[in-house]
């Protein structure tokens, strides 16, 4: 008799359970996990390395199983724990040469041995995943999203972008699991206490996606292959999970969109990990 363990070898991609989890999502810190029972990766390290190690341990995920961290851009809410992850855990970190330049000029203590440069829009392989980085518009020297394939399962993570352009749209539309920003409620931002220049920056094509922008894009592009939508990177001061869901529900209702029984929508917590989301 063949044991379950033998069936679940890393080469047997189709049989492996794939789990996604958000450890933290929002303007105070971003870190996401994707992996199977053998190995996994992190996307961004925007909370302390101590918190990342603790959250993974709480979920019975060993730090040794993490094969690398993908970095989207140089803002502190995406790289806060990167220095220690490279120095103490010797974790390889993957991003474009331009983003490395923007990270390394102010923060020089990243372990040089852990620097891995990746090209834009060319597939590379890590931990059994086929991964492609694609550019998005945001107010950093360069910002990228990630499209990650495990067998026929496709995950797109795109958390900081002012608008969805022709380059990023196909990666977002192709996802089975989509992690997409829904940063601010337009009315809360307008009526809030931020100075005008900051409101303008957030609303611009190089800022963040508002709830209506994200909801309209999803209403335009929802399809049966999109199983799970995770709404991410909520603003602390200009949004609430309730506002995000209400905007999406109203937009879908106005368009007559009804989710099929397999489709799920989650709003990711700002400061605490979500449950593991399984992609069967
Ligand atoms: Zn951010
Ligand atoms: Zn950012």
pLDDT at 247 over 70: yes
Q: Which ligand is nearest to the CA of 235?
A: 1
Residues 278 and 255: their CA atoms lie apart, in Å, by 29
Which domain covers residue 67, as residue numbers? 17-269
Residues 205 and 230: their CA atoms lie apart, in Å, by 22
Alpha helices in 15-69 (DSSP H): 49-58
Sequence-distant (6+) residues with CB within 8 A of 136 are 143, 144, 145, 158, 160, 161, 165, 167, 168
The rounded Å distance from CA 149 to ligand 2 centre is 24
Contact 260, 252 (CB under 8 A): no
The rounded Å distance from CA 85 to ligand 2 centre is 20
Determine phi and psi for 64, rounding to 5 degrees.
Answer: -65, -20
Domain membership of residue 278 (yes or no) is no
Domain membership of residue 61 (yes or no) is yes
Domain membership of residue 2 (yes or no) is no
The rounded Å distance from CA 159 to ligand 2 centre is 8
Q: What's 200-230 look like in SS3?
A: HHHHCCCCCCEHHHHHHHHHHHCCCCCCEEE
The model's pLDDT over 139-194, given as tens digits with 9 standing for 90+, comes to 999 999 999 999 999 999 999 999 999 999 999 999 999 999 999 999 999 999 99
The rounded Å distance from CA 26 to ligand 2 centre is 10
Q: Which ligand is nearest to the CA of 162?
A: 2
- Residues around ion ligand 2, judged by CB within 5 A, are 75, 160
The rounded Å distance from CA 232 to ligand 1 centre is 10
Domain membership of residue 4 (yes or no) is no
Determine phi and psi for 69, rounding to 5 degrees.
Answer: -125, 130
The rounded Å distance from CA 75 to ligand 2 centre is 5
Domain membership of residue 275 (yes or no) is no
At 17, the pLDDT band (50, 70, 90 cuts) reads: confident
Instruction: Decide: pTM greater than 0.75.
Output: yes
The rounded Å distance from CA 26 to ligand 1 centre is 6
Domain membership of residue 11 (yes or no) is no
pLDDT for 109: 86
The rounded Å distance from CA 203 to ligand 2 centre is 13
The rounded Å distance from CA 250 to ligand 2 centre is 28
The residue-averaged pLDDT of 248-272 equals 94
pLDDT at 46 over 80: yes
Q: Are strands 228-232 and 143-150 parallel, antiparallel or unpaired?
A: unpaired
If one counts the domains in the chain, the total is 1
Smallest CA-to-CA distance from 179 within 276, 279, 56, 267 is with 267
Domain membership of residue 274 (yes or no) is no
The rounded Å distance from CA 202 to ligand 1 centre is 11
Domain membership of residue 74 (yes or no) is yes
The rounded Å distance from CA 167 to ligand 1 centre is 20
The H-or-E segment that residue 94 falls in is: strand 93-95
Note the residue count of the chain: 280
Higher pLDDT residue, 259 or 15?
A: 259
Q: Which ligand is nearest to the CA of 28?
A: 1
The residue-averaged pLDDT of 50-72 equals 97
The rounded Å distance from CA 174 to ligand 1 centre is 23
The rounded Å distance from CA 43 to ligand 1 centre is 12
The rounded Å distance from CA 194 to ligand 1 centre is 17
The residue-averaged pLDDT of 13-18 equals 66
Q: What CATH code is carried by the domain that includes residue 249? A: 3.60.15.10
């Amino acid at each position: 008799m063949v044991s379950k363990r033998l069936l679940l070898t890393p080469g047997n991609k189709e049989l492996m359970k794939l789990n996604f989890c958000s450890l933290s999502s929002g303007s105070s810190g971003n870190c996401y996990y994707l992996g199977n029972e053998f190995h996994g990766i992190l996307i961004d390290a925007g909370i302390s390395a101590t918190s990342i190690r603790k959250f993974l341990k709480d979920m019975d995920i060993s730090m040794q199983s993490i094969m690398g961290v993908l970095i989207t851009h140089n803002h502190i809410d995406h790289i806060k724990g990167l220095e220690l992850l490279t120095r103490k855990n010797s974790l390889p970190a993957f991003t474009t040469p331009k983003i490395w330049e923007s990270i390394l000029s102010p923060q020089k203590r990243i372990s040089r041995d852990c620097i891995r440069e990746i090209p834009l829009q060319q597939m590379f392989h890590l931990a059994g995943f086929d991964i492609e980085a694609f550019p998005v518009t945001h107010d950093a020297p360069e910002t990228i999203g990630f499209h990650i394939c495990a067998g026929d399962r496709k995950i797109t993570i795109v958390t900081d972008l002012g608008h969805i352009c022709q380059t990023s749209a196909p990666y977002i539309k192709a996802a089975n699991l989509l992690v997409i920003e829904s940063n601010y409620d337009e009315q809360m931002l307008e009526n809030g206490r931020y100075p005008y220049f900051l409101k303008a920056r957030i609303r611009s094509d190089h800022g963040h996606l508002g709830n209506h922008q994200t909801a309209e894009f999803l209403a335009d592009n929802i399809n049966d292959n999109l199983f799970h939508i995770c709404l991410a990177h909520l603003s602390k001061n200009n949004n609430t999970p309730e506002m995000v869901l209400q905007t999406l529900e109203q937009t879908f209702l106005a368009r007559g969109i009804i989710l099929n029984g397999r489709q799920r929508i989650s709003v990711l917590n700002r400061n605490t990990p979500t449950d593991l989301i399984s992609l069967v």
